[in-house]
Structure 1
Amino acid sequence: MQNETAGLLSPGAHEVVVDGLDQRYHVHGSGPVCLALPGGPGVVWQSLRAPALEESLTMVYVEPLGTGGSQRLPSHPHGYTRERHTRALIGLLDRLSLPRVFLLGHSYGGFVAQYAALHHPDRLRGLVLYESAPVTGPEHMAEAAARVEEFVHRNEGREELPVALAALQGVGAATDDETVTAALRGLVPIYFARYWDREEEFRGFREMLTCTYISSLDENGEPDTIDDRATLPGLDLPTLVVVGRHDVICGPRWAQELHTLIPGSHLVVLEDSGHLGHVEEPEAFADAVRAFVASASA
């Protein structure tokens, strides 16, 4: 079993069957194991790749069900609830014979990580909530709208701004992979603190992005709403909350709220980042996660 587990954690791409469905993941680096859940839902796993973390951690980048090389549900594009993603995640840990790991969730992946931590804290050594929030819905959308207005004010006069704003408006109407990918690439500048000032540096990241269209509905067509504010105070797990100062989607307000709700959590604000601090400030991001892992391991 140990030899099989070692093989399943060797560098590169792997595919296993979990709960009757093909689950694909990618292993890079060495050290304590950290499973990484990308955002979206549906955004390609490479969007979360953090080479600076791979110097000290075994990063297991998960392709969530329905995304990339992982199998789609019969109800696709619906049914990808946090509960269903968590079942797949725990099944993957079982398949890898990993009793306890660090779990890092970015954006929507953070919502899934919160759910997994609240329902399976015994399987985790520590939790990293990266650009996450305790709630979705009207309150979250209103905060995002206010943050977008701040972004517009900071970038007033840029000729590229209307194109990015149009893409942001269009992403909600997308209902297929090609349309949602085009919208995501179009709105990327809004996800950065200073994209246009550093466009040469970030263009490759933008061109790499792809997205699978996944709805926010469960298999019965009902919204998979999120509000963890009542349960997060009961979370007894080392937790790091990371946020970019200029994030418009899951900004500092939500990071502060998570930090306040989760007992003993640690908050790190990346001052020159938006929604993608691991791309904009990779060393500062990696330093924060490495320090957290060291503290939690001790």
Structure 2
Amino acid sequence: MQHITSPDGTRVSYDVYGAGPPLVLVHGSFNDHRTNWEFVKPFFEKQFTVYALARRGGTDATKGHTVEDESRDVSALIDSIEEPVFLLGHSYGAQVALGAAANILDRVRKLVLYEPPWPSTIRSDTLARLEELAQVGNWNELPATLFQETFSIPMQELEELRATEHWPLIVADAEASLEQLRALSRYIFSAERFHGLHVPVLLQVGTESPRDKFVTDTLAAVLPDARVEASPGQAHEGITMAPEQYAASVFRFLAPLKA
């Protein structure tokens, strides 16, 4: 694990692996910089030098931080890399990656965003239930409640996920992820802010996801160079549930890899 220092003095960690042009990964909530990409790593590391950022909340936990703080963390990592990068974010991490790309326009070659959520996606009553679960330490039910109430993940898919070795890792990240949900609920999102983002952008969605929960279509309407691609049969955890299909989508968009 390597480290950089963000503009506010926070130490931010990241892993580096693979070979090829630089690809920066920004993980979502209820995952970390390893588990979010565990199943796509074998595909990515054959094509890219991957910089997998460990967002705040894991190894570098802070309290009360904002989405903008985390975007500046990503910008600092990109600035430390010697050449322009491909940038990819999932869920909350997609909002963070989007902000980072807007911060340093000339350092991002292409941007991939998988279902960045609206701040209003986390309803106040759902957040209150999550806070209640946190107060009694019921971390196992906290992600399940969020996935069902907010992202409408089908029960069968949720049960499949809970039966995998990935679920204990999701639960382990629940406390840090709740801090991120708080940050998201405070975030003021304006699509018009990104009107000047001229890099090519791939906006990914799952066909089984509740599309209105994400800023995908609003971004597609204002970004100068964006396309939307739906992953058939997938929901919010398509990166984990269909990694080969997901990696193929990313490769199609990022090719040709050489400048």
TM-score calculated relative to the size of structure 1: 0.70
Shift of 1:100: 1.7
Equivalent position of 2:70 in the other structure: 85
- Once residues 193 and 223 of structure 1 are traced to their aligned partners in structure 2, the CA distance between those partners, rounded to angstroms, is 24
Q: Residues 56-205 of structure 1 correspond to what in structure 2 (within 5 A)?
A: 56-65=47-56, 67-70=57-60, 72-73=61-62, 76=63, 78=64, 80-94=65-79, 96-133=80-117, 135-137=118-120, 140=121, 170-175=129-134, 178-180=137-139, 182-185=141-144, 192=153, 195-196=156-157, 199=160, 203-205=164-166
Kept in 1, the 8 Å contact 2:109–2:199? The answer is yes
Equivalent position of 1:45 in the other structure: 33
Corresponding residue pairs, total: 248
Equivalent position of 2:186 in the other structure: 224
For 2:18, give the aligned amino acid.
Answer: G
For 2:129, give the aligned amino acid.
Answer: G
- Once residues 281 and 217 of structure 1 are traced to their aligned partners in structure 2, the CA distance between those partners, rounded to angstroms, is 29
Equivalent position of 2:235 in the other structure: 274
For 1:208, give the aligned amino acid.
Answer: L
Q: RMSD in angstroms over aligned alpha carbons?
A: 3.4
Kept in 2, the 8 Å contact 1:36–1:62? The answer is yes
Kept in 1, the 8 Å contact 2:130–2:145? The answer is no
Matched position secondary structure for 1:235: coil
Matched position secondary structure for 2:189: coil
Matched position secondary structure for 2:186: coil
Matched position secondary structure for 2:204: strand
Shift of 1:228: 2.3
The alignment status of 1:256 with 2:246, answered yes or no, reads: no
Shift of 1:266: 1.8
Which of these residues, 286, 290, 295, is aligned with residue 247 of structure 2? 286
- Once residues 191 and 172 of structure 1 are traced to their aligned partners in structure 2, the CA distance between those partners, rounded to angstroms, is 19
The alignment status of 1:233 with 2:219, answered yes or no, reads: no
Unmatched 5+ stretches in structure 2:
none
For 2:179, give the aligned amino acid.
Answer: I
For 2:142, give the aligned amino acid.
Answer: A
**TM-superposition CA deviations, 1:194-249 (whole Å, max 9, x none):** 7459828961121221221415567xxx963232222233221111111111124x
TM-score calculated relative to the size of structure 2: 0.79
Matched position secondary structure for 1:85: helix
Shift of 1:99: 3.9
Whichever of the two has the greater Rg, that structure is 1
**TM-superposition CA deviations, 1:43-86 (whole Å, max 9, x none):** 42234212222221222211112x2212x34xx1x1x2122112
Matched position secondary structure for 2:44: helix
Unmatched 5+ stretches in structure 1:
1-12, 146-166
**TM-superposition CA deviations, 1:100-140 (whole Å, max 9, x none):** 2111111111111111122221121111111114x422xx4
